[in-house]
Structure 1
Amino acid sequence: MHTGVAKTLVGREHHMALLSSVMEDLANGRGSVILMQGEPGIGKSALLAAGLAEAAGRGLDVRHGVCDELNQRLPLAVVQQALGDAFASGGQRGDTTADHPASDDAQGHHSARFVTGDPVTAAAEELLVLVDRLCAERPLVLALDDLQWADEATLLVWRRLCRTAAQRPLVLIGACRPVPQRSELDLLRRDVRDHAGTTLTLDRLSDAEVAELARRIAGLAAGPRLLGRLELATGNPLYVREIMDALSRAGALDESGSEAELGPAVPGRSGADPGWAEFERMSLAEAIADRLAFLTAGTRDTLRTAALLGPAFAITDLTVLLGCPAVALTAPVQEAMAAGVLEPADGHRLRFRHGLLRQALYESVPAALRIALHRDAARTLIAQGSSVERVAEVLLAATDAADGWEVDWLLDNAAALTRRAPDAATTLLAHALTHTDDHDVRTRGLLAHLASASFRAGHYEQAAHVARRVLTHRCDPEQRGRAAWILGYALLHTGEIEEAMTTAREVAAGLEPDTKWHARLHVFTGVVLHVLDRGDEAASVAAAALAVGTDLSDAMTIAYARHCLGLTRFDHQDMDGAIDHEMCGIAMTGSDPELVDLRLLMQGNLVSALLNVDRFAQAREVLADARALAERTGAPRLGMFVGHAAEVAFETGCWDDTLTELDAVFAPDYQHTHYPHLTFTAHGIAAVVAAHRDEQGAARHHLAVLKDLTDDPYSKRNLTYYFLARAMVAERSNDLPSAASALREVLDPSYDVMDARASVLPLLVRLALATDDRELADSALACVEAEEARSRLPHVVAARKWCHGLLRSDPALLSEAVDYYRGVGRLAEMAQALEDAADLLAAAGQTDRAREALNDAMLTYTTLGAVWDARRAAARLRVRGVRLGVRGARGRPRTGWEALTDTELKVAELVAGGLSNPDVAEALVLSRRTVETHVSHILAKLEVKSRRDVTGVALAHSS
């Protein structure tokens, strides 16, 4: 009898040829994606194993994991296990709490900490960076089997890798069943299709292929009666093999002649048919059970214990659970491998040959015994010092195994588990609380941890409920203060703002005055007062808290007080004051994990203030640090920084970089639900850039999206770009009245958004004058004058001069505006003001000066790729008799080295130097995701398929 998984690869020659081709391409630096689909037993795992064996034979780095239906509660665990030693040596770099161990509470247990950010998102980013670095070392094959059981975070990481696999020497191979049906898998299938991946659907074998498979298994051609019985397998290779093996084990297979045929009936079997009539009723699960029944009792017991450890397991873990030396497992492991139940996974682990085998073993253990085994397994893992995740995985697989004995372990490890998997922590903590009561001194600690874990998991109502329970207990000021803080912020998240302030004040009143938590809760009320638009009260409270915090040297109080004062200064248009407070507050946060969210919030506010005074270089520096921290910690505020980065690039005329940033926002998996206004900003900016570049189809697409969103209850500030793009599209169609009407909306008194409209008012004045609507032009001037009087922001002053210059036909005022825009780097506004100045000069008969201004504008339009602006300017001045001295703006070539933008050229050179995407991002102070988008554009523009090809093109252009 010939066994071996490779023997089942009948009818899969085409699939193996494809895998061989993919591995050859990978050896040459070209990545790709393969998704295998098919019913259980159809041969996905066997085909995957054969492909991975070939990859290993080529010297490629091969990493393999199996998703598990029984253990889906720890997100990303399967990817971490697949990466193995690479993750162990490089993992947890993104854990900002690693260098800040929690303090001990009165019971000697690690206390809960108020740490924000999404640990799952942070872990996902860490894994993506690790994959990039592995690919930079040598070509990587990353495979996951049974994707239908993968947790959502794993599928999200897999999708992101799918979309960028071609950027690096990476082959992704996933295998999944058609059921259970999951929307996340549908999205994965779409990504594979949309990014030139390959989907392999494994069909059932034909009759001829079943006969060939039987011949390979038996070593002889199958006789007609045997083939008749194998029809029960309906072409499923696993079922064919299980039936053949069951027949062989029972001695019902006659291999003595030239054919393998059914032998005589076996005593003890029912029915007179020589091939056992019961095989006509035997299911696949029963065939597998029959295989397991032929194992010795000791081997079955060993395998049942191993089934608790997952699809793959380390021999060392099994020896610990069984309490025996490794040598004692030699016989049962060898028997299980010979029987086709186990197979090698890697140098240190074994795995079940098929998930159905493990499932059958797992389910064969009575529920009560299974609970006991899980309990023993968890206790043993704890005793040997296994990781928090490993113990939690065992507990989560059978929560009933945790019946109170685990409370002390959970108290000691809840903070670490919360940082890794807050949802899992909330489940275990809530369950542990069912085994303690109010008289148990441990209850208070469990509640504190549960409040923190619930908040970090985003379960704000639960966090508030649990924090209230903490406050009902007698606890020390540290625990009361921390619980009140969590409760307050949870209430802010659920919109119960007044209650948040009341709670903070009540708890603070019960604490000693001028102590740490008294000061912190006091400054929290200041933050809430600002949310309630009671700015003067907020400033007074924050100033008092700042004084106390300074006396106490409490960084948290000082930072929050500075933040609150910065907000009030911003509201009063005191940008210098706002910048000073935010910078001082940021400095106080240091690297404290409890202040990460505050640091990011202050950095976002600081960028806003810097943009208001056109300090773009400094804004870029703050953004670089903030985005890196947000990516590393999984903070939802990342969306805010992407929006800021797009705006900085847009305002300074780096429109190609703007569109690259926006590509990330438009990606299907991009999460910006915390900042819904980012949708307005992103589509608005994209529409404006498209209109400038005379890409009318793209402009109208983004406008159509925005039209469907304008009824959402968000600030009209986010519609500024929408109004501008509408006006530009109308002007492009020579419909100047409609263009002016589109911008008229910014004059609505309800549009009270500081300087947001200032940048578009000069255009409104020009359009109003072009349509002889002096009243509208005067209204626009009055609006910008009011803005200037209120804010005195420098670019509002420049906009007012521009508007005055147009109304007074005074090119000197426009020149002043031009000088300002040139000095701060607002290239688009500089060019448009130059164009208007050229028009006024030409009208005054100063043709030479007009031509000089026009040429200056045209050079800038060319730099920006502003094709429509160049055409408009040329047409306006041609009527005045002014001809171009320079060529107008032309579009950049769409393909080839010359098609690359300045940033893409820098990225391409670093890629050619062998740097991974994270290394490129670090070198250019960019987001890793932004670099991914740049690399994708580079590959498309150069019409190449790999980083190695990019290197070749770069070398050709450098020689």
Structure 2
Amino acid sequence: MAPHRRPVPRTTNRVRTRHATTPARRQDDALALQPVRYLLRMGTSRSAATLVGRAAESAQLGTVLSTALTGSGRAVMVCGEAGIGKSALLTACADQAERAGFTVLWGSANEIEQQFPLWPFLELLRTGNSSAGRLRQEYRAAVAALRQHSAGAMADPVPAVAERLFQAVERQCASGPVLLVLDDFQWADEMSAALWIRLARQAEQLPLVMAAAVRSGAGEGEVSAVLRGLERTSGLTIRLGPLSDCAAMALADNQLTGPAAPSLVRELSRAGGNPLHLTELLTLLRENDALAKGPHGLEVRPGHRGLPLGATIADRIQHLSAELREVLGIAAVLGAEFQLMDLSTVSGRPLIALLPLVDEALAAALLVPASERLSFRHHLIWQAFADTIPATLRGVLHRQAAEALARTGAPREQVASQLLQADDAGSDAWAVGWTADHARELVDRSPAVAVGLLARAVTAGLPAVDLTALRLRTVEALVSSARLVEAEALAREVLAEGSIEPDHAAEASWLLARALHAQAPSGGGLNDAAEVVAATKIDGMSERCTARLLAESAFHLFRSGRPGEAIEAAAQAVISGERSGESFALAYARWMQAVIARVHDDNPAAALELSTRGLALCADGTQPRIERLIRTQRVIIMGVLDELVEAEHEITEIRLVSDRLAVPDLGATTAIAAHRFRRGQWDDALVELDHLNGNGHGQVAVLSRGLTALVAAHRDDRTTSEAQLRLMRDHRLETPADHETAQWLLMARSVAAERSGLADQALAALRPVLDPQIAAFLADPCDWLPIIVRLALASGDRATAEAAAAVRPPGPPEPSTAYRHHTAVHCAGLLAGDPAALVTAADYYASSSRPLRQANALEDAAELLAAQGSPIEAKRRLDDAVAAYTGLGAVWDVRRARARLRARGIRQGARGPRVRATSGWASLTATELRVAHLVAVGRSNPEIAAELLLSARTVQSHVSRILAKLSFRSRVEIAGEAAKRGLTAGGMTP
């Protein structure tokens, strides 16, 4: 177990992972570390703070740590004003955790670096223990794998890195308990806050303690949301108030050479119980020689002029030597935390000259050690030194620091941070050139930072820089930052330039289309995006850009309801892609051709063949995102072709591609969930959707909420069904494309209405399926036709029933369209009152792994048999239908089937199929049993995901459901229960 580094409050984090370090810098660092390490070892004892007056809070944290050792962690948020002792409390907790065998990971946010996503979490990569080494390797691998695709495939490396960090922490928890601290949470960027919260939600089922410190009054809206989230996850909030008078004096006594007389007590009371203010007051009094021994202890000398608390630290600074003030002012420019080598570079002083000054600052408790770096002891001290630099000079120093750091191979983020603070001083030739050279990386790493630096570079207007290229990168950064209106305006401005190069026009067009589509992903937004790309002239454009533009055009044209033009654009994109070797555009165009063949041409066989061609273009692994799109489309196509078993291979490949990308694809997730639903694997379908059912009305939300509501409706879970449908109540279905995402929502509304006795509304919910324009966008409208026929006949609407039964797939019935053929047989059997046809359809549904459709057909056959005077056969078919429904947990369908047959005089009797267990070991599905087995033998979630070829998020959902079904809190309890039940190496049985 490697020791954790003692955390220090308010640090600027440094990242050494993404960018190569020059050989010269590595050599200089190695030479510098020997004396630096010596100084840091000396400073460690000076930085250790005495924790006074926080016994109750320490006991609370101790209880959290003890519980985590049993396998059930917790999230903790420590709140309070600046200097109140939040970091000191968490430092003491970290020391206790280390002694107990925890791996301690500590990261800190900073108000400047919050524009760089995941900056505080990357602090974890610089610790010296083995787990950090693994984190570092995974981070580098993720960025390296994704950056080579970012320009063409629009991949975003930040979510991928977040996912890998999450999995790495999970893996570490499998090796032992973990304490992960995020200091100064109020300055955390959105991605870091989301990652912390996600880990906090998982803490209860792992030996994981997630702790954070947050300053009162800072970022109150975001912090309040986090605190509310903690309450929902049994988190702990500790609010630190001022020290009591007794505790404040105890803290003072630790730093005094004798008891405090009343005059000193009165002076120290001005600190208001704030440990930092109290300590600074004492230091100032000693440095001003304002203390003297009196008859009642240490007194304040008569005539001492008390300073306002805000001026205390500033006054201390004035007592330092001029050289130390200058050096620490330059250090403050580097940030609240810095490397000595960087200070040497920027200040122009050799290391040998800096060492005595650093030692003096450590002795004065102005600096404290932070691993192999230095940090100002408190943010307020750092701010005081930063304020010693005049505002007119500060920008110049940041600009000089940026260039000096860039010359030594410092990380791009560090250089960009300095340039960002340089203001107008960062608009010269070097700064603009550096920004232009690293524009792509800046957009990938932090779109918000990129927007600022690129805008400054464009404004500088230097002739040696391609201003149009910089503006296009700015548009891309604005799109990535969701500043879509600004992105649209700038893209249109670029396109309006009279002398714009054709390739630049192409890129501006597809970026503009992307912004328009994102602003309104249906209706007008689709049409506007399609108009932009379709109107862009390709004369003079390179073959590579032509291929990309045409591929983008095919997508937007098809989504806007212009299939003929989309077909032509995709075909031309293929030609241009083959001529230019533009693999991204070529693969993208093949994907679009497969989509068009399935949806517009209603030719799933041709769509499958086109998708196979597209996959061949991805065989070298250079287009993982397009490969995932194509394989997702193949899952849908194979469902239409009734190749459900074969689709499992595509799902496995999607998992493998997603693992390489490190982030799940929402479209793939919903397609897999739909596949699981059709095969009757409803629990697995819900697990796939678990992390998608957030707020909002986006396409994925509609799909996931609709399918969740449908399963709940079939299972007679009114609470869940009504809640999901209520969230989608105002979802508007204005275009055929809108219905594409709402297919499960329509069915859920229908089942819910029928369950409430509203047969007319149940039928009305599914009527859109009969509109050819809408049906063309559904994965397979045949799914719903037999239900429409049944509902229409029950409502006496034979015309609608006949219209539904008349829907036919193109071409003769062949093995490749056997499902559609038997759907037609099912509909015809209902219309003709032919139970034999329904039994034939049911047999086929059973052989093709569609248990819900099988049960539907058997139920329909049972009613017809009863009506035609065959009660024994009717009861047998009813029993078979109920057995199939029971296996799915479809409680409502069982009730409906029995009610329909009771009306015909057929009763199942008291002994029907056994009710499906909803809790306890017997309620675990086959997948859950396999997951429970692997949890029991000590596998982490990422390891389970790799072995079962599931996504890590899916495994997390499985574990959460297992814990809920067994009423357990931690994985340790799962292992204990498995041992009681005689877990074997081959797996478990209920």
Q: Shorter chain as normaliser: what TM range?
A: 0.7 to 0.9
Find the aligned partners of 2:619 and 2:721 in 1 and give their Cα distance.
Answer: 43
Runs of at least 5 residues in structure 2 that lack an aligned partner in the other structure: 1-44, 520-524, 984-990
Find the aligned partners of 1:546 and 1:115 in 2 and give their Cα distance.
Answer: 17
Find the aligned partners of 2:486 and 2:628 in 1 and give their Cα distance.
Answer: 25
8 Å contact kept, 1:842–1:882: no
Find the aligned partners of 1:342 and 1:912 in 2 and give their Cα distance.
Answer: 47
Q: Cα deviation per residue 1:262-318 (whole Å; 9 max; x = unaligned)?
A: 2322xxxxxx4xxx3x42xx3332122233333333332232222223332233333
8 Å contact kept, 1:344–1:350: yes
2:634 equivalent in structure 1: 606
Amino acid at match of 1:10: V
- Percent identity of equivalent pairs: 34
Query: In structure 1, which of residues 80, 91, 111 is the aligned counterpart of residue 139 of structure 2?
Result: 91
Shift of 1:38: 0.6
Shift of 1:840: 2.6
Find the aligned partners of 2:190 and 2:162 in 1 and give their Cα distance.
Answer: 11
| Partner SS state of residue 664, structure 1 | coil
| Partner SS state of residue 211, structure 1 | helix
8 Å contact kept, 1:838–1:854: yes
Find the aligned partners of 2:501 and 2:562 in 1 and give their Cα distance.
Answer: 32
8 Å contact kept, 2:153–2:584: no
1:565 aligned onto 2:593: yes
2:234 equivalent in structure 1: 196
- When structure 1 is superposed on structure 2, of 359-368 and 840-849 the one drifting more is 840-849
1:41 aligned onto 2:83: yes
Find the aligned partners of 2:923 and 2:260 in 1 and give their Cα distance.
Answer: 63
Find the aligned partners of 1:533 and 1:746 in 2 and give their Cα distance.
Answer: 17
- When structure 1 is superposed on structure 2, of 45-54 and 128-137 the one drifting more is 128-137
Query: In structure 2, which of residues 930, 934, 947 is the aligned counterpart of residue 910 of structure 1?
Result: 934
Q: 1:497 to 1:943 in 2, by over 3 A?
A: closer
8 Å contact kept, 1:858–1:889: no
Find the aligned partners of 2:172 and 2:592 in 1 and give their Cα distance.
Answer: 44
1:106 equivalent in structure 2: none
8 Å contact kept, 1:505–1:522: no
Find the aligned partners of 1:289 and 1:655 in 2 and give their Cα distance.
Answer: 65
Query: In structure 2, which of residues 512, 534, 538 is the aligned counterpart of residue 508 of structure 1?
Result: 538
Q: Cα deviation per residue 1:909-928 (whole Å; 9 max; x = unaligned)?
A: 22223222222222222222
Find the aligned partners of 1:700 and 1:534 in 2 and give their Cα distance.
Answer: 36
Q: 1:832 to 1:508 in 2, by over 3 A?
A: same
Runs of at least 5 residues in structure 1 that lack an aligned partner in the other structure: 102-111, 266-271
Q: 1:306 to 1:115 in 2, by over 3 A?
A: farther
1:31 aligned onto 2:104: no
8 Å contact kept, 1:536–1:568: no
8 Å contact kept, 1:485–1:504: no
Find the aligned partners of 1:94 and 1:116 in 2 and give their Cα distance.
Answer: 15
Q: TM-score, normalised by structure 1?
A: 0.87
1:533 aligned onto 2:555: no
8 Å contact kept, 2:440–2:473: yes
Shift of 1:14: 0.8
Q: How does 1:91-110 map to 2 (within 5 A)?
A: 91-95=139-143, 100=148
8 Å contact kept, 1:93–1:126: no
- When structure 1 is superposed on structure 2, of 525-534 and 225-234 the one drifting more is 525-534
Amino acid at match of 2:707: I
Q: Cα deviation per residue 1:457-480 (whole Å; 9 max; x = unaligned)?
A: 455565563586489597987666
Find the aligned partners of 2:509 and 2:787 in 1 and give their Cα distance.
Answer: 51
Shift of 1:200: 0.1
Q: Cα deviation per residue 1:774-818 (whole Å; 9 max; x = unaligned)?
A: xx1442232232254699754443333223222322111112211
Find the aligned partners of 1:130 and 1:579 in 2 and give their Cα distance.
Answer: 37
Find the aligned partners of 1:353 and 1:338 in 2 and give their Cα distance.
Answer: 12
Shift of 1:39: 0.9
8 Å contact kept, 2:530–2:560: no
Q: 1:7 to 1:751 in 2, by over 3 A?
A: closer
Shift of 1:194: 0.8
- When structure 1 is superposed on structure 2, of 67-76 and 798-807 the one drifting more is 798-807
1:780 aligned onto 2:818: no
1:432 aligned onto 2:419: no
1:234 aligned onto 2:272: yes
Find the aligned partners of 1:446 and 1:847 in 2 and give their Cα distance.
Answer: 78
Shift of 1:452: 4.6
1:866 aligned onto 2:890: yes
1:71 aligned onto 2:113: yes
Shift of 1:119: 3.2
8 Å contact kept, 2:258–2:298: no
8 Å contact kept, 1:865–1:889: no
Q: Cα deviation per residue 1:836-862 (whole Å; 9 max; x = unaligned)?
A: 223333444444433433333233222
8 Å contact kept, 2:862–2:878: yes
- When structure 1 is superposed on structure 2, of 224-233 and 708-717 the one drifting more is 708-717
Find the aligned partners of 2:496 and 2:652 in 1 and give their Cα distance.
Answer: 40
| Partner SS state of residue 690, structure 2 | helix
1:834 aligned onto 2:855: no
Q: 1:369 to 1:60 in 2, by over 3 A?
A: same
Amino acid at match of 2:925: T
2:174 equivalent in structure 1: 136
2:608 equivalent in structure 1: 579
Q: 1:778 to 1:711 in 2, by over 3 A?
A: closer
Find the aligned partners of 1:935 and 1:466 in 2 and give their Cα distance.
Answer: 46
Amino acid at match of 2:666: G
Find the aligned partners of 1:206 and 1:596 in 2 and give their Cα distance.
Answer: 60
1:919 equivalent in structure 2: 943
Find the aligned partners of 2:328 and 2:112 in 1 and give their Cα distance.
Answer: 16
Query: In structure 1, which of residues 692, 701, 706 is the aligned counterpart of residue 723 of structure 2?
Result: 701
Q: 1:220 to 1:862 in 2, by over 3 A?
A: farther
Q: TM-score, normalised by structure 2?
A: 0.85
Q: How does 1:104-123 map to 2 (within 5 A)?
A: 113-123=151-161
| Partner SS state of residue 78, structure 2 | strand
1:657 aligned onto 2:684: yes
2:10 equivalent in structure 1: none
1:588 equivalent in structure 2: 617
1:647 aligned onto 2:669: no
Q: How does 1:270-349 map to 2 (within 5 A)?
A: 272=303, 276=304, 278-279=305-306, 282-346=307-371, 348-349=372-373
Q: 1:547 to 1:848 in 2, by over 3 A?
A: same
Find the aligned partners of 2:652 and 2:496 in 1 and give their Cα distance.
Answer: 40
- When structure 1 is superposed on structure 2, of 939-948 and 843-852 the one drifting more is 843-852
Shift of 1:665: 1.6
Q: How does 1:885-896 map to 2 (within 5 A)?
A: 887-894=912-919, 896=920
Q: Cα deviation per residue 1:541-567 (whole Å; 9 max; x = unaligned)?
A: 433543454355442443244234323
Q: 1:421 to 1:590 in 2, by over 3 A?
A: farther
| Partner SS state of residue 913, structure 2 | coil
Amino acid at match of 1:806: L
Find the aligned partners of 2:620 and 2:365 in 1 and give their Cα distance.
Answer: 53
| Partner SS state of residue 855, structure 1 | helix
Find the aligned partners of 1:552 and 1:234 in 2 and give their Cα distance.
Answer: 72
Find the aligned partners of 2:407 and 2:416 in 1 and give their Cα distance.
Answer: 14
Amino acid at match of 1:343: V
Shift of 1:79: 1.0
Amino acid at match of 1:299: L
Find the aligned partners of 1:682 and 1:82 in 2 and give their Cα distance.
Answer: 35
| Partner SS state of residue 510, structure 1 | coil
8 Å contact kept, 2:502–2:540: no
Find the aligned partners of 1:844 and 1:469 in 2 and give their Cα distance.
Answer: 74
Query: In structure 2, which of residues 121, 124, 140 is the aligned counterpart of residue 82 of structure 1?
Result: 124
2:578 equivalent in structure 1: 550
Aligned residues: 919
Find the aligned partners of 1:516 and 1:131 in 2 and give their Cα distance.
Answer: 42
2:12 equivalent in structure 1: none
Shift of 1:652: 1.4
Shift of 1:523: 5.0
Q: 1:30 to 1:572 in 2, by over 3 A?
A: same
Question: What is the root-mean-square deviation in Å for CA atoms of aligned residues?
Answer: 3.4
8 Å contact kept, 1:467–1:486: no
Find the aligned partners of 2:883 and 2:839 in 1 and give their Cα distance.
Answer: 17
- When structure 1 is superposed on structure 2, of 140-149 and 799-808 the one drifting more is 799-808
Q: How does 1:473-488 map to 2 (within 5 A)?
A: 482=507, 485-486=510-511
Find the aligned partners of 2:220 and 2:581 in 1 and give their Cα distance.
Answer: 52
